[in-house]
Amino acid sequence: MKSNYLNIGIWTFALFFLHACTPKEVRQIPLEDFFKNSEKTSYSISPDGKYFSYMAPYQNRLNIYIQEVGRDTAIRITNETERDIAGYFWGNNNRLLYLKDTGGDENYQLYGINLDGSDAKAYTAIPGVRTTIIDPLEEIDSLIIIGTNQRNPQVFDPYRLNLETGEMTLLAENPGNIQGWMTDHDGKLRVAYAIVDGVNTQILYRETEKEPFRPVLTTSFKEELNFETFTPDNKLVYAVSNLGRDKAALVIVDPSTCQEIEELYANDRYDIAGIGYSNAQKKITNTGYLAHKGMKRHFFDKEAETQYKKIQAQLPDYEIGTTAMNKAEDMKIIYAANDKTRGSYYLYDVNKDQLTKIADLAPWINPNEMASMLPITYKSRDGLEIEGYLTLPSGYTLKNARNLPVIVNPHGGPWARDMWGYNPEVQFLANRGYAVLQMNFRGSTGYGRKFTESSYKQWGQNMQNDITDGVQWLIEQGIVDPSKIAIYGGSYGGYATLAGLAFTPDLYACAVDYVGVSNLFTFLNTIPPYWKPMLDMMYEMVGHPVQDSVMLANYSPALHADKIKAPLFVVQGANDPRVNKAESDQMVAALKQRGVEVDYMVKENEGHGFHNEENRFEFYRAMEKFFDKHLKNDKTE
Query: pLDDT by residue (tens digit) across 420-432?
Result: 999 999 999 999 9
Residue 36 lies in a domain: yes
Q: What letter would DSSP give residue 609?
A: B
Stretch 94-121: mean pLDDT, rounded?
90
Let me know whether 293 and 381 are in one domain: no
Q: Tell me the pLDDT tens digit for each residue of 324-345.
A: 999 999 999 999 999 999 999 9
What whole-number distance in Å separates Cα of residue 487 and Cα of residue 506? 12
Let me know whether 248 and 353 are in one domain: no
Let me know whether 263 and 357 are in one domain: no
What whole-number distance in Å separates Cα of residue 430 and Cα of residue 413? 24
Cα angle 248-251-254, degrees, rounded to a multiple of 5 = 130
- Decide if pLDDT at 100 tops 70: yes
What pLDDT score does 533 carry?
73
Residue 493 lies in a domain: yes
Residue 543 lies in a domain: yes
What pLDDT score does 575 carry?
81
What whole-number distance in Å separates Cα of residue 561 and Cα of residue 553? 12
Stretch 489-511: mean pLDDT, rounded?
96
Catalytic-labelled residue, pool 38, 184, 418, 608: 608
Q: Which of 355, 370, 385 is the last residue of a domain?
A: 370
| First-residue to last-residue Cα distance in the chain | 54
Q: Which domain holds residue 498?
A: 373-631
- Where residue 19 falls among pLDDT bands split at 50, 70, 90? very low
Stretch 366-381: mean pLDDT, rounded?
96
Least confident stretch, 122-131, 257-266, 542-551: 122-131
Helices (H) and strands (E) in the chain, counts: 12, 35
For CA atoms 583, 588, 589, 593, the dihedral sign is positive
Residue 469 lies in a domain: yes
Let me know whether 466 and 531 are in one domain: yes
On average, the pLDDT of the chain sits at 91
DSSP per residue, 508-520:
-SEEEEES----H
Residue 521 near residue 552 (C-beta atoms within 8 A): yes
Let me know whether 513 and 567 are in one domain: yes
Stretch 74-81: mean pLDDT, rounded?
94
What whole-number distance in Å separates Cα of residue 511 and Cα of residue 503? 13
What pLDDT score does 532 carry?
73
How many structural domains comprise the chain?
Answer: 3
Residue 339 lies in a domain: yes
CA 221 distance to own-chain centroid: 22
**3-class DSSP state for residue 285?**
strand
Residue 7 lies in a domain: no
Let me know whether 273 and 415 are in one domain: no
Q: Which residues contact 516 (CB under 8 A, 6 or more apart)?
A: 489, 490, 491, 492, 493, 494, 495, 496, 497, 498, 570, 579, 583, 584
Secondary structure (H, E, C), 567-596 = CEEEEEECCCCCCCHHHHHHHHHHHHHHCC
Residue 132 lies in a domain: no
Beta strand 354-360 with 341-349: parallel, antiparallel or unpaired? antiparallel
DSSP per residue, 452-487:
HHTTTT-TTTHHHHHHHHHHHHHHHHT-EEEEEEEE
What pLDDT score does 24 carry?
62
Let me know whether 293 and 331 are in one domain: no
Let me know whether 467 and 531 are in one domain: yes
Q: What is the CATH number of the domain that holds 549?
A: 3.40.50.1820
What pLDDT score does 610 carry?
79
Let me know whether 513 and 400 are in one domain: yes
Residue 222 lies in a domain: no
Q: Is 491 part of the annotated catalytic residue set?
A: yes
- Decide if pLDDT at 12 tops 50: no
Nearest to 107 by CA among 135, 78, 148, 144: 148
Q: Is 339 part of the annotated catalytic residue set?
A: no
Catalytic-labelled residue, pool 38, 394, 491, 556: 491
What pLDDT score does 247 carry?
97
Let me know whether 407 and 534 are in one domain: yes
Q: Is 576 part of the annotated catalytic residue set?
A: yes
Let me know whether 496 and 359 are in one domain: no
Residue 348 near residue 311 (C-beta atoms within 8 A): yes
Catalytic-labelled residue, pool 101, 157, 418, 576: 576
What pLDDT score does 383 carry?
95
Residue 66 near residue 115 (C-beta atoms within 8 A): yes
- Decide if pLDDT at 8 tops 60: no
Nearest to 426 by CA among 407, 442, 441: 407
What pLDDT score does 276 carry?
95
Let me know whether 290 and 327 are in one domain: no
- Is the overall model pTM greater than 0.85, yes or no? yes
